Copies of this chain bind each other. A is one copy, B any other.
Amino acid sequence: MKQNIYDNPIFFKEYTSLRESGVTYNDFVEQPAIKSVISTIRDKSILDLGCGTGEFAKYCIENGAWKVVGVDISENMIEKAKRENQDENIDYICESIEDLELKDLKFDIIISSLAVHSLAVHYMEDYTNLIVKVHNLLAKNGEFLFSTEHPIVTARKEMNSWVKDSDGNKLHWALDHYQEEGKREQHWYMDGVIKYHRTISTLINTLIENGFVLEKITEPQSIPVGLEKMPKLVNEKRRPSFIVIKSRKLDSLPF
C-alpha cells in the first residue's frame, strides 16, 4: 500500500512548519549522519528516494553531483521542491517507489533519507521489493545509503515508549515485541500513521541476500549544537532513534 500522509493538508502544514523551524531531529541527528557517511558526491549521479522538498537534492548539486533525480509520492512536496530547489541538473518526479520506472537510467548513489520521509523505509510494507528495485537502479558497485527509524524505537506496539516517574522524568525506554515484525500504528500530527517494524537482522540480511555488501552502520547521536537548541536530544544517548545503513552493490565476491 502506498501511504501518502504528506498530501493530507493538516499533516503537510504541521510538517512543513516543523521542518522550516530548523530545530528537528533531522537537522541535528539524522542529516549530519547521512552527510558524514555518504561517499564523495562530486561527479556522481544520485537518485533521492523520498526527496521531499528537495533540500538534499540541492545539497548534492552544490557539492558537485552532475545529476540528481528526486522522487516523492507527495504532490505537495514535489511542487514545493520545484518552486524552491530547482536546478537544471535536478529532475523531480512525483511517483511511488513501487511504480517508479526509470528505464536505462543507472545511478552511482541511491539515498533514502527519513528526513523527508514520505518514502522512508519504515513506511514501506515490502522491504525486499525496495532492495531489489534499488539494486536494479544502481550502476556497478553503486552505493545505497538509507536512514530509518531504529528497530529499538519501532518495536513496541504501544506508542510513546519512555517510561516516566510521577515528576515526568524519563526512567528508561520500554522495549517489547521485538521479534514481531509488521505494522505499527502511530499518532504523528494525525491518527493512523502506519509504520513497519523490522528487526536489525531483517534490515541487514535482506541487503546481503540481494547482492549488497554492508559498509557501515551508524546509530547517530546529536551534533553539539543540537544539544543546545533541543536539549531533549540528550536522550539519543539513552537509545538511538535512527539507524543509518550504508551498503554497496556487488556483482560478484571473490569466493
CB-contacts of A117-135 with B (<8 A): none
A201 within 8 Å of B by Cβ? yes
Q: How far is the CA of A216 from the CA of B206 in the complex (A)?
A: 9
Measured CB to CB, the residues of A under 8 A from B are 141, 152, 155-156, 161, 163, 171-180, 199-201, 204-205, 208, 213-219, 221, 236-240, 243, 248, 250-255
Cβ of A239: which chain B residues have Cβ within 8 Å of it? Answer: 155, 175-176, 178
Which residue of A161, A175, A221 has the most chain B CB atoms within 10 A of its CB atom?
A175
Cβ of A251: which chain B residues have Cβ within 8 Å of it? Answer: 254
Q: How far is the CA of A190 from the CA of B30 in the complex (A)?
A: 42
Are A208 and B201 within 8 A (Cβ)? no
Are B175 and A199 within 8 A (Cβ)? no
Cβ of A179: which chain B residues have Cβ within 8 Å of it? Answer: 219, 221, 236-238, 240
Q: How far is the CA of A161 from the CA of B141 in the complex (A)?
A: 43
Cβ of A177: which chain B residues have Cβ within 8 Å of it? Answer: 237-238
Contact check: which of B156, B217, B221 meets A200 at CB < 8 Å?
B217
Cβ of A243: which chain B residues have Cβ within 8 Å of it? Answer: 200
Could you list 29 A-B pairs, sorted by A, with CB under 8 Å?
Answer: A141-B254, A141-B255, A152-B175, A152-B178, A163-B172, A163-B174, A172-B174, A174-B175, A175-B175, A175-B238, A176-B238, A176-B239, A178-B219, A178-B237, A178-B238, A178-B239, A179-B219, A179-B240, A200-B200, A201-B219, A204-B214, A204-B217, A208-B214, A208-B215, A213-B253, A214-B214, A248-B255, A250-B254, A253-B254
Q: How far is the CA of A135 from the CA of B175 in the complex (A)?
A: 35
Cβ of A252: which chain B residues have Cβ within 8 Å of it? Answer: 254
Are B217 and A205 within 8 A (Cβ)? yes
CB distance from A245 to the nearest CB of B (A): 10
Q: How far is the CA of A208 from the CA of B245 in the complex (A)?
A: 13
* Chain B residue at minimal CB-CB distance from A255: B141
Q: How far is the CA of A70 from the CA of B255 in the complex (A)?
A: 27
CB distance from A211 to the nearest CB of B (A): 13
Are B201 and A205 within 8 A (Cβ)? no
Once A156-B172, A254-B250 are accepted as A-B contacts, the answer to whether A217 and B240 lie under 8 Å apart by CB is no
CB distance from A107 to the nearest CB of B (A): 16
Name 12 extra pairs, CB < 8 A, besides A213-B253, A253-B254. Answer: A141-B255, A163-B163, A172-B175, A173-B175, A174-B174, A178-B219, A179-B237, A180-B237, A200-B219, A201-B219, A208-B215, A213-B213
